[in-house]
Structure 1
């Protein structure tokens, strides 16, 4: 089989040990609040890792979280910048975490620092270009690069990308699929781990379905109802593929293609661009926006419009109308 032709389509988390009994109590209180709020375990795990950094700093300066004031918070964020060498985007995540931490535990001593930060634009993002949607031409080039690579995971990675493109699903939704969720005869997949906490069905094309049936039993060491359909190739059986792996794969091949001038250097293409591209593609083909919204699992139709880069479509439509005037 010509694999290149067949696949064509028509973050390292750091943990910090918390030493003191008081810090452990703060961490447990916050974790209990997050669990009660219904946050996903992965979100809580990330929150706790960052909170560990903050609590370790509070131990270092000899202050409990409810004793810290503006000067201590300024020292903490300078510590993140100067001692830990974190990027602005990472520092902002700590700021957002502390807002949630202090609000969840009903403490008010972070409020003054937060209000000053808003007034002084400390944690404001610069204007960020939105992700560009991947269109079929670019996707086929990316698929070709992946299949031509020497990576031992290239078939699995290409299958994931094909399913992401067909379904418009989120990366986490596809990586969490298990064999019991999949009807590999019809090409229907039941997504349970969703952002909106509502189950939904996603689908794939006949071509993708044939590829899945040809390769899933070859690339996976464990094939059972409860095992993931996409598994890590490490030492552990049935370990889910790490989300960051696909991000690195996409970034590497997109960068190579930009260097070869196969993709415009101005394009901002990431894994999530597949979801944007599917939305844009379906709307351009005349699929009603309500149906696209349900396929993507959006709770708000305005999100669907934003994903579709409606501003671009509106601009094109206005230019077409201008020609008729």
Structure 2
């Protein structure tokens, strides 16, 4: 089913729309599940009722999270609206239960303790997550041109929601980044002698065939091996896979002896936002640095700090309780 003309048509529309390869893979996954759920019927023979029953099944029987159900809906909406030109109308499906979990946040001593357990490359990666508020994929996709040493900035391109943004770069990382970039450029030079280089966006690679030789396009954290480009099939060097720092983090957390928190790569981004607010930074500034479209998403960190009830005293504070050691 993966090689069907219909799925290839959807893949082509996604690429024409500039969607990331990760989004392409996710959308195709949900479209395949939708087709299998309806006993391999073609989507053009189905519509709103079938989409409604599928989304309701995900919520009621599979108990998926809200965001998972939303992703499935987005995939099916893209297929029907952009590819098949079929209006789904009012779906009125059963929504997944919304749970609001407070993000796990590290203390600053805990961040320092974990970083201490990591090798130089992974220490730099997690220092960027914490120091710049990056997602792990945003960090690993950084190219040399995205590091602004002159103004201590990091440019995130095609972040979540296909948005670009600028965030801060800690002065403490300048030296480590210079060394990492020198190492990456040495790899690029060796690759160029073989006629290969860093993977490039497909349109850019066609327009500028020699762009892979320019230092600006080299990944800051290149993969240790060559691979085939998922679109062009050309041999190239991609960025480091996110499984590498994830494994390193798991080991570092165990060595640090922090066993009372569920720590992931995203925990460092949560800690970045929380510690900035804790230091008195404006929530709008933090929203912009994180790349949130809605300030309400950023406000979750005020709940971590307890700022949502700042200035409010517990009723117990005003209760006169007799001292049991005092005579009646």
TM-score (norm 1): 0.67
After TM superposition, list the pairs within 5 Å mapping 1:302-317 onto structure 2: 302-309=296-303, 312-315=306-309, 317=311
Hey, what does 1:25 align to over in structure 2? Answer: 6
Q: How many residues align?
A: 280
After TM superposition, list the pairs within 5 Å mapping 1:124-203 onto structure 2: 124-125=96-97, 127=99, 129-145=101-117, 147=118, 154-184=119-149, 187-203=152-168
Offset at residue 178 of structure 1 (A): 1.1
Offset at residue 230 of structure 1 (A): 1.0
Taking a change above 3 Å as real, the CA distance of residues 246 and 87 of structure 1, as seen in their structure-2 partners, is farther
Taking a change above 3 Å as real, the CA distance of residues 217 and 73 of structure 1, as seen in their structure-2 partners, is same
Hey, what does 2:44 align to over in structure 1? Answer: 66
**Contact (CA 8 Å) 2:102, 2:304: kept in 1 or not?**
no
Structure 2: 5+ residue stretches without partners: 190-214, 228-235, 320-328
Hey, what does 2:170 align to over in structure 1? Answer: 205
Determine if the alignment matches structure 1 residue 42 to structure 2 residue 15: no
Taking a change above 3 Å as real, the CA distance of residues 71 and 225 of structure 1, as seen in their structure-2 partners, is closer
**Contact (CA 8 Å) 1:221, 1:238: kept in 2 or not?**
no
Hey, what does 2:201 align to over in structure 1? Answer: none
Determine if the alignment matches structure 1 residue 226 to structure 2 residue 217: yes
Q: Distance in 2 between matches of 1:57 and 1:35?
A: 26
**Contact (CA 8 Å) 1:168, 1:295: kept in 2 or not?**
yes
SS at match of 1:272: helix
Determine if the alignment matches structure 1 residue 282 to structure 2 residue 248: no
Taking a change above 3 Å as real, the CA distance of residues 128 and 284 of structure 1, as seen in their structure-2 partners, is closer
**Contact (CA 8 Å) 2:28, 2:75: kept in 1 or not?**
no
Hey, what does 2:267 align to over in structure 1? Answer: 273
Q: Distance in 1 between matches of 2:280 and 2:318?
A: 22
**Contact (CA 8 Å) 1:279, 1:308: kept in 2 or not?**
no
**Contact (CA 8 Å) 2:274, 2:305: kept in 1 or not?**
no
Structure 1: 5+ residue stretches without partners: 1-15, 148-153
Offset at residue 64 of structure 1 (A): 2.0
**Contact (CA 8 Å) 2:246, 2:265: kept in 1 or not?**
yes
